[in-house]
Structure 1
């Protein structure tokens, strides 16, 4: 990922927080089947290895898991909020007009090679933890144990799990840090006033010294 120094995010707890808050990840490989990508919810175990370990599963019918089984390196992308930046939000536009549009965003990239598994016990633990992670916000949470056991057993036979120790981790917080303080405040104000919730979410990530 191209990442100028001004945008680089190296704080591990911040990177982990973004991973957990991203929801759906994009896992891509370039293996024997060519370039492939799958959209997957993942579970992060922060205490495993230097950067943590990612856990997830594929539908068994999705042949992408075979690339991981063959040892292909995976790139996992976690996308945060993003927004178009209108040039009129820059104070510099009124001063000299030398401004152009851009796109600000937050992203985390993780690389590693995965262990693939299909033992029912490990799969049950994985899907239970994934469900619990995403059910916390529900008024009446659902758990795997709510479904009939034979149904869950059949579902487990239809998936393949993986554990991906993160070997390299990069974060990019492109929030206008290369602009003047006045320009950054102008962008934050413009995004905060937008009707688009993702714009407002990105504005909230711009922690500026007022």
Structure 2
């Protein structure tokens, strides 16, 4: 059996069914239900490099710190779907263009972590169920998936050696219900990305698959 380990490290945020929603091909290992989790339990992930970006306007929102809590239960012969979950996510000291400060709130929790494939000590997968909301100085916006009422899916990877869960900045996140001073910087319907490296603690989680 191949080993994978903890999942998370980085800072802004800020997924539906892990692989299918974003076009990732599910590996034979995932489809066959051959994933094993050891050293599981509750974990905390901290990031200091999160970035939310509107890919149409180029506007970015960054946060100094983002903290996520979650868990992954010990299991053998499991499907990669829902192999872990994110129960809470918070962001602090978030700012955007012109020095505008924002409050970021996660919605739709818990979010699901799904393993899709494994190679060279790195597991790739998705984070599903993702929704979020920002507000600040008359600017508000929500973030979801293909529509304003469907959750987004974000691509992630997990590196065993560093216990780093990386949100890769790809997926199907979009902005909706944009109002106030956000207009022009972020617009309703714009495709957006979210990235960040979350370092997991304790560094005990291991995920394996043939």
Pairwise same-fold verdict (TM > 0.5):
no
TM-score by length of 2: 0.26
TM-score by length of 1: 0.26
- Structure holding more helix per residue: 1
Structure number with greater CO (CA < 8 Å, separation at least 6) is 2
- Structure holding more strand per residue: 2
